[in-house]
Amino acid sequence: MRIRETAWTPAERTDPDPDLPERAQALAELMRGRRATVLTGAGISTPSGIPDYRGPDSPARTPMTFQQFVGDPAFRRHYWARNHLGWRHMESARPNAAHLLLADWEHRGLVAGIITQNVDLLHLKAGSRTIVDLHGSYAVVVCLGCGTRQSRWALHEDLELLNPGFAERVTTRGAIEVAPDADAVLDDTAGFRMVDCRRCSGVLKPDIVYFGENVPAHRVHAANALVDESDLVVVVGSSLTVRSGYRFVRRAATTDTPVAVVNRGHTRAHADALLAVDGDCVEVLTRVERAL
């Protein structure tokens, strides 16, 4: 069963790696003459202002599970109220230098494609062309009843009509902390009105794989194909605590495809990695680019 698991262990803060320049040089040498599949996580997007769940500086957060969302209207109302504020922050986020470098490396033939666990679309905004959005996207909403899909912008207009002035009332009480997965930290959601599917009155859900939910098989197959067609897998900005991403490292390892890791702190993939670089994604990839 392919699920996004509910349990994890936050990464521990580590001291700056004194060998970072040498390790970045080694990664550049490993990439030369190879086509890499790059597996990215939240750590690549934190410099763009999008928080993560497990980084060394991340506060403890408990994400909503799929079972909570589908099983309790109160949980759904709470989520949509938070999402009504948080998704616009994600919409306005822009790619950082790490996203842009990966897109450029794809254009130059160094990268075959991106498998991302993020839902922020920053790889697409940066210009990457071959992308597997493993956990979906914040920008699409799907009906759990009939499967109808619509843009998040269209739903935003409907929610605005049903909840006039909600965002303004909430933001006047103080700064809103943005949370991962296109929502915001918000306690007062009483009275927020949800929208049902216009076609069948079914439950609407962001096209995001929640914890405890199956990753769609076609995305897994596309990601497997990328790994199989590449001769290097590079993990960038992910602790890989959940198996939905880690499985691709294991797939590479079982076929003797080398694995490299770029991340702040220890990851689940360290035992499989030929090379691990402990550092900020932007800094490390910028050093690799200089060495290429």
- Please compute, for residue 70, the number of CA atoms within 13 A of its CA located in the half-sphere on the CB side: 14
CA distances from 192 to 4, 76, 104, 204 (A): 28, 10, 43, 15
In the DSSP assignment, the letter for residue 254 is H
Asked if 135 is an active-site residue, the reply is yes
Query: Which one is catalytic: 78, 99, 135, 218?
Result: 135
CA distance 82 to 219: 27
Is the separation of the CB atoms in 87 and 138 below 8 Å? yes
In the beta sheet, which residues pair with residue 199? none
Is the separation of the CB atoms in 138 and 120 below 8 Å? yes
Here the tokens at position 147 are 């499967």
Q: Could you list the residues known to form a binding site for Zn(2+), using ranges.
A: 143, 146, 197, 200
- List Cβ neighbours of 95 (8 Å cut-off, separation of 6 or more): 48, 103, 122, 123, 125, 126
In the DSSP assignment, the letter for residue 265 is S
- Local structure of 93: helix, strand or coil: coil
Residue (of 47, 71, 45) closest to 138 by Cα position: 45
- List Cβ neighbours of 219 (8 Å cut-off, separation of 6 or more): 132, 133, 134
Here the tokens at position 247 are 């499985």
Q: How many CB atoms lie within 10 A of CB 291?
A: 15
Which H or E run includes 263?
Answer: strand 259-263
Residues carrying an active site annotation: 135
